[in-house]
Amino acid sequence: MQLTDTHTHLYYEKDPQLLKQLMDRCFEQKVERLFLPNVDVNSISLIDEMVKNYPDNCFAMLGLHPCDVKEDFEEQLHTIKAALAGRKIYAIGEIGIDLYWDKSTLAIQQKAFADQIEWAKSLDLPIVIHCREAFDEVFEVLERHKNSRLRGIFHCFTGNKEQAENAIALGFYLGIGGVVTYKKAGLDEVLKNIDLQHIVLETDSPYLAPVPFRGKPNESSYLTHIAQKVADIYTLDLAEIAEVTTTNSKKIFGV
């Protein structure tokens, strides 16, 4: 059995010993593939280090997180775009729109999102979307930029059935994380209407830890708890969930 965490910020742990312990626990739980979304200029080197130390297990993305889209976003984008030339990356991400923290930056978030979508299309790479309280705004940008190369993952998907179907119709997989284990989230009911072929798994560690670790720092080894919940929803074995979702991740990222 092999599990794939399609979205983890495990690189936030800067203590080498603690990071090794986090990775060792991943391997114990068969979480052998970890995709690392970039958030800003400063996180590029952290991801580089993890990829260097775990070249068979860690895979890089590059992008500017919407919460990091500030007045200097064009300068940040210029630096991140320049970094594309010297690295092997598997997606542009995480990118998107977040209206939970700051609605006043919507216009520049939309501009940064659109620019990075165009990077991905020109490089024939998937995008990994951060969407928080912004489904309408995200879909509006995607509709304007859709073509045969537009594809990727709606990271930390928490939408309804209609939003799930819209995302899938646009060529996206749904990234399912710890929220699926929360009793009042309702995500389990949404997934009952969605074919497993459209699902990938993620932790978003150190955020959104699944039950029974809710409220504590998350880690990629906890992916097994998310996978088990998904197995329960689809009434399938854990091994089959691991196989299908890992295969889906390979289709998206090409590795």
Residue 86: predicted pLDDT? 86
pLDDT in tens, 143-165: 999 999 999 999 999 999 999 99
pLDDT tier for residue 49 given thresholds of 50, 70 and 90: very high
Cα separation, 97 vs 140, in Å, equals 11
pLDDT tier for residue 1 given thresholds of 50, 70 and 90: very high
Helix axes of 106-123 and 135-145: crossing angle, nearest 10 degrees: 40
Cα separation, 42 vs 31, in Å, equals 26
Q: Could you give the domains of the chain?
A: 3-253 (3.20.20.140)
What is the share, in percent, of the chain residues with pLDDT greater than 70?
Answer: 100
Residue 204: predicted pLDDT? 98
Mean pLDDT score across all residues of the chain: 97
> Minimal CA–CA distance to 43: which of 91, 83, 101?
83
Residues 6 or more apart whose CB falls under 8 angstroms from that of 72 comprise: none
pLDDT tier for residue 225 given thresholds of 50, 70 and 90: very high
Residue 35: predicted pLDDT? 98
The arithmetic mean of pLDDT across residues 32-55, rounded, is 98
The arithmetic mean of pLDDT across residues 206-221, rounded, is 97
Question: Hey, what are 230's tokens?
Answer: 């998904």
Cα separation, 247 vs 255, in Å, equals 10
Please state the pTM of the whole predicted model. Answer: 0.97
Residue 44: predicted pLDDT? 98
Sheet with 58-60, side-by-side order of all strands: 3-5, 31-36, 58-60
> Minimal CA–CA distance to 67: which of 41, 95, 29?
95
